Structure 1
Amino acid sequence: MIQVTAFKWVPPFAQGSVRDIRVRWALEEAGLGYDDRLIGFEDQATPEYRALQPFGQVPAYRDGEVEMFESGAIVLWIAQNSDALMPADDAGRAMVMTWLFAAMNSVEPFVAELATIDLFNADKEWAKQRRPEVEAFLRKRLADLQTALGDRNWFAGDRFSAADILMTHVLRDLRHTAILADFPALADYVARAEARPAFKRALADQMKPFRAAEAARPELAAGRVA
């Protein structure tokens, strides 16, 4: 049985963003069952977990054949054996891999820098000074991305693929802002992806332990950790 590690709970701002959702979504699209192994923050530094994930992050993945970490690599591994996530022809596969890496390397760093400022450093003077420039760079990259999408529904060959899992997840990390509304084709793209039943199942499965933890400890819902 496939096993994916995930957190028992994260603060509200991170819910729906933790990267195990990428792997959950890929498995759902591929029609593959899995178990989630839930870990707490206290488990991240243990030798046992670091043997699976050297940086103490989630997800780590095992399927009886391989053990992996890094969500992008895991999604690519799953996609290589799934017609739902990657076409059979070499040209199609190459385009999926190209856009998958574009999501992580050409788009995500800009999104992540803004999120780091907004979610962790908003009150710091350096962040206030840096933010306008970061947002300007991000908007330029989003404009390029929207142009590349054009009038297609999906990025690689205009069919849903593993690349769209990564790209959608990256763009969803802007939902604490109104920036994506200024790029209507990208906003529609994210909405299309989020409407997929496989995404809805993946999101619900990630959120389930968070809701259970908050029901047991209501103070967690406000992001307070005792």
Structure 2
Amino acid sequence: MTKPFAPAWSRWAALSLGAAVLGGALTACAPLVIGGALTGAMVAVDRRTSGIQLEDQGIELRAANRLRDTVGDRVNVSVTSYNRQVLLTGEVGNERDKALVEQTVAGVENVRSIVNELAVLGSPSLTQRSADTIITGRVKASMLDANDVTGTAFKVITNRGTVYLMGRVTQREADRATEISRNTSGVQRVVRVLEIISEEELARLQPQPGTAAPAAAPAAPVTSPQAPAAPTQ
């Protein structure tokens, strides 16, 4: 039986509010945003090792600091790192700044690869940003409600109606999460920035009762832009 929608949304909303407050404290007035992994209970269900999670946080912080020094406040860039693969979303004023942002982040220690999804156009309105936040919440809530996908295995980022999925997941999980995202109201496009692992690897990553999760070996990154989502009924 499908779980009620409201509790899942409430759980996500509470986490989102906390992350938003933390993000505001870190970024102050600058338009740079860092993805930041949730700590505490969320660490236990993350398929990255605790060391990699801390490393991802360090990458996001160092990248944000370097971008402030390099491009200042003339760009609106979000830096999200998952297993040392960095996703760049947001807006820049020209192609030169787009390349400069990527070059700057590529120079950050421990960055393994970069997916540059920066758009060359003006910054989104407050209305657009609010809509993106709502879309992210809907996708996360739908994943939590689904019985055939582990929603906590995915990091969801939304920019201008495009949903980006990050995580270490099986092909089955990737396809299901894509389907859920594509059928979420407001989603225009889904881009998969995923590392595909086997079902055997997934079973090995699942912690047994009373034991710690084993260290995860890096999987090959898979970036798979999807066709625009079909209109929601």
TM-score normalised by L of structure 1: 0.31
> Normalized per residue, which structure has more strand?
2
> Normalized per residue, which structure has more helix?
1
Where relative contact order (Cα < 8 A, 6+ residues apart) is larger, the structure is: 1
TM-score normalised by L of structure 2: 0.31
